[in-house]
Every structure is written in structure tokens, then in C-alpha cells.
Amino acid sequence: MEPTADYREAGDEKPDSLFEAHPTTLTLPVLWGHMDPTGRMNPALFFRFFESVRVAYGDKVGTHATLHETGIGPILAETEASFLHLVHYPDRLLLGCRTIRLTETTMTQSYLAYSLTQNRTAATGTARIVAYDYRQGRKTTFPHSVIRRILAAEKGLRLSTDQ
């Protein structure tokens, strides 16, 4: 996967400047039940938080509506995260999602989790998502309507011809 933008030195920036490039944002609470025995939020939960903002992004660009209409939708192929700072209850995380690479068959997304209590980036992540025909059970291409909506949502993103 391509590396996510480096937010490690961005701890003193305001969230607005960090999230300018993220067309989809979501704020979620850190709940007491998210804590592990050490008193921090279990790092595995960042993947669920990134999933939540990924679903919100999909709602925005129509991947889920298209899935119900055509059977073609996104499927997660791989994901990774960098855990930069511990998160504790109570907190709220501002999450961002953007597509940083798009082909007819795959997209690479970048995620950002910003602690509103600590005023710094808590985690970053990336994911490679593949267009999948759930009715045929195989990889396919994203519908052109979805590609157009992704390109419209993302400033400066171009459709890449290399797979």
C-alpha cells in the first residue's frame, strides 16, 4: 500500500487544517468499554473507527447504494494503522477519510484519527479497497458513476491507469 500522509509532526496544528483534504469526517466518542486492562483504548478499535468513517465515505460517494442496485461494491483487501498516541476515556476522536489513489478496480484510502481531548493525531491508517461483484463472486471494476463521485469529492485526484 502507499504510505499515508505523515501526520506525526502535526500535533500542534488545528484539526481544520489537518482535515482540509478529507472529504468525509466523523466524530465518535471513546467509551469506557473501549478501554483495555491497561486503561487505554484498545488499539484494535482504531480499525473499527476507520471502518465507520469508510462507510460514511461510501454513503457519500454512492458505493453502498450501487451495491444494492447492481451487486457491485467495495471489499476491503488490506489495511494497516500506525498508533501514534494512547487514547483514554473520556475522549472524542475526529476521524477523516480520503481516497489517495484510484483505478477502475481499486482505491487506496487514508485515515486520520485526531484526539479532541489531547489536540493531536492519535492514529493514521490506510486501506486498499477492491471493486467486487458480490453476485458473481469476483473482482470487477467500479461503476463509472461511483468513480465520477469519488473524483468530484477529492481535490486533485486523478484516475490512475496502472493497476
Q: What is the mean pLDDT of each run of 10 residues along the chain (163 residues)?
A: 41 73 96 95 96 98 96 98 97 97 98 96 98 98 97 96 75
10 within a domain of the structure (yes/no): no
E strand residue ranges, 33-142: 72-83, 91-102, 106-115, 120-133, 138-139
65 within a domain of the structure (yes/no): yes
* Nearby residues of 21 by Cβ (< 8 Å), 6 or more positions away: 5, 96, 98, 155
52 within a domain of the structure (yes/no): yes
Which domain does 124 fall in, by range?
15-153
162 within a domain of the structure (yes/no): no
pLDDT at position 23, please? 95
Q: What is this structure's pTM?
A: 0.89
4 within a domain of the structure (yes/no): no
Give the CATH number of the domain where residue 23 resides. 3.10.129.10
Please tell me the total count of domains within the chain. 1
1 within a domain of the structure (yes/no): no
112 within a domain of the structure (yes/no): yes
Judged on CB neighbours under 10 Å (0-12, 13-18, 19+), 158 is: exposed
Query: How many angstroms separate the Cα of 71 from the Cα of each of 9, 68, 103, 106?
Result: 42, 6, 19, 16
88 within a domain of the structure (yes/no): yes
